[in-house]
Structure 1
Amino acid sequence: MLDRRTRVSGLIHEARQDLAYRPRIRYGRRLPRQVFPAVVLLLVAALATGVVVVTQLPERSPETVAMRRPVARQTVQSGVATAEPTHTPPQPVAALTSIHRPHLFVVAAKPLRSAVVAKVAQVAGVRAVERADAAEVGMDGKRVQTLGVNPSTFRAYTPKPTARSDRLWRNVSAGEIAVSFVLGNDGGMPLGKSVTTAGRSLRVGAYATMGMGAIDAVVSRQTARALGIPENNALVVSAPKVDSAKLRRTLLRILPRGSQIATINPVLSAPQRTTWAASAFMTAPQIKVALTAAASKLGRPYVWGAEGPDTFDCSGLVQWAYAQAGIKVPRVTHQQFVSGPQIPLSQAQPGDLLFWRHDPTNPTYVSHVAIYWGNGKMLQAPRTGDVVKISPVGTRNFAGVVRISPAIAARVR
């Protein structure tokens, strides 16, 4: 029997805990079907720490795809991996002059008019606003949350290692794609590879996490136009001195109906919570069911983006196993990291979640999760080429332990 009576005190970092209590972001109305030059747009959901309406761009048949270029030599600059340019020379990109920490990410059902963007920029406390184009794009059979951006200005809203890499943004400006370290490393998109999307071939020019939830790929706005990604349907908002929940409510009154807003790096005013009742956590029977479910998948292969029942990635395995116990946890690793209080590793119990920061392009980003099995062991879906297995707990790049609170986990979107 697992003892859940221990009081947990001083275990929560304020930002991570309060994020879990933000208002649920609801689905907007369906987007009208529109025809773009190369694709048909469909409604899908899911982005970052919020449920955000984006657009899915189905892959085209490969018959019009250009010949793939050979894999290019890799260069590492300030922790960001980039590929040497091949045929297309890098385009000029403005130098980085400042960094704006992003706090809210907006996706609208249609392009946002300049007047609306201006109103958002004039809200008290908003320091900077950046336009972008957002869609879920099919790439080599994978569904990839993609942004079309202006490399010269968008770089200021990314983590420092990403923002400071001139080569990365020149590659994006030259028509290449920058993918997250996880997608590149575990999703089969190595540097220099050409991926197929919307009847075109895009070369992976860099690995770089953008620090915006589930965004796994960035292209230039010119490339986004060629792919049929809707224009100006997204905003990144920096407001470092305003409570993010209050600002979100204000912006929803300004933005068109159906707009969705996800919190990226919340600014919080709520007091820190220091004690937890045992009833806030999973029961012993629920933990047993989740662990049994996870163990039933031992030997199943790791596949990036897979959610079961036959293949899994790390967070997909967690979500599936806990769902078998009736516990609703979010899909993405960094969302699962805010699904309950953090506790010391020395106090970890079976069923707690263990997290790591393995992403060299953004050392603060939580990129891997495993389920604590007990006795120094964990159950995990490790990486591409491996299978679901039980292994010793490793502490290299360790981020922390989270004890799942069903009520909190159900509210993280």
Structure 2
Amino acid sequence: MSLVAVLTADLLLLAQVGQRQAVGQLPAAAVRQQQHRPTPQQTLAADAGTTAQPAKQPVKPLGQLHKPNLFVVTRKPLTNELLRKVARLQGVAALELADAASIMLDDKRVQTLAVDPSTFRAYTPKVTAASDALWNNVAAGDVAVSFVLGSDGGLSLHSRVRGPAGPLRIGAYATTGFGAVDAVVSREVGRTLGLPRDNALIVSAPKANSDKLRRALLKVLPKGTQTAMVNPVLPPAQAKARTWAAGSFMSGEQITVALRAAATKLGRPYVWGAEGPDTFDCSGLVQWAFAQAGVRMPRVTHQQWLAGPQVPLAQIQPGDLIFWRLDPTNPGYISHVAIYWGDGKMVVAPRTGDVVKIAPVSTRNLAGIVRVSPAAAARVR
């Protein structure tokens, strides 16, 4: 689950933790008060089961939802002074601090956030935010993983997985809405896992131009800070569909190279998070195959959705990307991708236990078809 690039060796461009106050009400003390609140917890995608450990304090009820618009990850902890500068930027309505890093879960490298469940929940999709059971499980010590990591990655609900500091229980399948984030733990658990502190920030600014605010953030925050737009707010002139010239798209030669490259990997196993050359997940296969044709594709599915204009299914051509929405915890989320092969077939890396194959195109839960523009793909952040 991105929006998203690795910052340093292990740090990722994803973030959120600690607090849900409107920025105009962010006193310095409150910024750091976001500490850990363990609590009983359960799960979104199935029944609760037993909680990981006794809870000290229940997770607070869901309050006002905040739509995240920007992700920020820094090389060093965000200070109160920096948070106040961000809070004063025009259009900023709410902030949420977090600890972010890449960790290993059952030999899978997973982009993980350590959060305060009571406040972070307000920045997630409505279905996820509303589940008291889910956030109680996280506060009690469980890890909540994305539906894609759980179903395609083979991490079974309520199972125990190997983590950096010992076993962790999968307490829920729940999508945060931040594409590259595939696991969420409490801040207490994050400490035991060695996550860096206060290196990530979610900014909610629903009335601000996201691109303009992103540039302002980079001026305020230290060198090396990375930002990514999510749920971007753009002015009408920027948001409306552009006219795509014929030269905007991949050449016939590039399409042939990408398809042939994908075909050389038929029979290779699906591995969640794998980018090749011997194992792949769905978006990893797309990125690798298109790279052989000189096209720089973003890494994760929801980013690849932005790699060009949508076209009607009736106009699909070889080399187009096919996208689906398969995540019941976030029905609007783009969660799967394949490459159209032609003749009603696609090249796809399906899920754990399967292999790269050519298969008939399925239209169930189809999100749409995207014709790749190399220039547009290279701009996606």
Q: Is the 8 A contact 1:54 1:135 kept in 2?
A: no
**Residue 324, structure 1, aligned to residue 278, structure 2:** no
Tell whether 2:24 aligns with 1:56: no
**Kept after mapping to 2: 8 A contact 1:54/1:134:** no
- 1:119 deviates by 1.9
1:181 and 1:48 map into 2 onto residues whose CA distance is 15
- State the match for 1:112 in structure 2: 78
Q: Give 3-state SS (helix, strand or coil) of 2:202's partner.
A: strand
1:183 and 2:137 correspond: no
What does 1:329-344 correspond to in 2, within 5 Å?
A: 329-344=297-312
Please report the TM-score for the alignment, with normalisation by the length of structure 1: 0.81
1:309 aligns with 2:277: yes
Summarize deviations over 1:296-354 as a string: whole Å, max 9, x none: 21111111111112211111111111111111111111111000000000000000000
Q: Report the CA distance between 1:283 and its aligned residue.
A: 0.8
- Asked if residue 95 in structure 1 is aligned to residue 61 in structure 2, the reply is yes
Alignment of 1:153-164 (within 5 A): 153-164=119-130
3-state SS of 1:210 partner: coil
In 2, distance between residues paired with 1:98 and 1:54? 34
Distance 1:56 1:274, change over 3 A: closer
Q: Aligned runs of 1:4-403 on 2, under 5 Å?
A: 48-53=2-7, 56=10, 77=44, 80-81=45-46, 83-86=48-51, 88-90=53-55, 91-269=57-235, 270-403=238-371
Partner residue in 1 for 2:22: none
Instruction: Give, in whole Å, the separation in 2 of the partners of 1:121 and 1:85.
Output: 40
Deviates more, 1:194-203 or 1:401-410: 194-203
* Runs of 4+ residues over 4 Å off in structure 1: none
CA positional deviation for 1:120: 1.2
- Structure 1 contact 81–208 (Cα < 8 Å) conserved: no
Work out whether residues 296 and 377 of structure 2, in 8 Å CA contact, stay in contact via their aligned partners in 1: yes
Give yes or no for contact 1:379–1:388 (8 Å, CA) kept in 2: yes
- Label 1:220 to 1:76 Cα distance change in 2 as closer, same or farther (>3 A): closer
For residues 2 and 68 of structure 2, what CA distance do their matches in structure 1 show?
Answer: 13
Aligned-residue RMSD, C-alpha: 1.8
Give distance in 1, aligned partners of 2:52 and 2:185. Answer: 17
Distance in 1 between residues matched to 2:233 and 2:189, nearest whole Å: 33
Q: Which amino acid aligns with 1:95?
A: P
Question: How many angstroms does 1:94 deviate by?
Answer: 0.3
Identify the range of structure 1 (386-395 vs 127-136) with the bigger mean alpha-carbon deviation: 386-395
The separation in 2 between residues aligned to 1:404 and 1:369, in whole angstroms, is 13
| Distance (Å, rounded) in 1 between the aligned partners of 2:302 and 2:261 | 22
**Greater alpha carbon shift after TM alignment, 209-218 vs 117-126:** 117-126
Aligned equivalents of 1:55, 1:203: Cα separation in 2 = 26
1:406 aligned partner, one-letter code: P
Would the alpha carbon gap of residues 82 and 313 (structure 1) be closer, same or farther in structure 2, given more than 3 Å must change? farther
Distance 1:169 1:82, change over 3 A: farther
* 1:160/1:55 CA distance change after superposition, 3 Å: farther
Distance 1:349 1:248 in 2: 35
1:144-179, Cα deviation, whole Å (9 max, x unpaired): 111110000000000011100000000000011000
Q: Which has the higher contact order (CA 8 A, sep 6+)?
A: 1
Give the alignment's TM-score, normalised by structure 2: 0.88
Q: How many residue pairs align between the two structures?
A: 349
- Following the alignment from structure 2 to structure 1, what is the Cα–Cα distance between the partners of residues 46 and 210? 32
Deviation of 1:293 (Å): 1.1
**Is contact 2:52–2:141 with CA below 8 Å preserved after alignment?**
no
Q: Which runs of 5+ in 2 are unaligned?
A: 12-41
- The amino acid across from 1:56 in the alignment is D
Report the alpha carbon displacement of residue 368 of structure 1 after superposing the two structures with TM: 0.4
3-state SS of the aligned residue for 2:71? strand
Alignment match, 1:72 = none
Quick one: percent identity of the two aligned structures?
64
For structure 1, the residue ranges without an aligned partner over 5 or more in a row are 1-46, 58-74
1:185-237 CA-to-partner distances (Å, cap 9, x unmatched) read 12121111212222322111011010112000000011111111111111110
Q: Give the aligned residue type for 2:369.
A: V
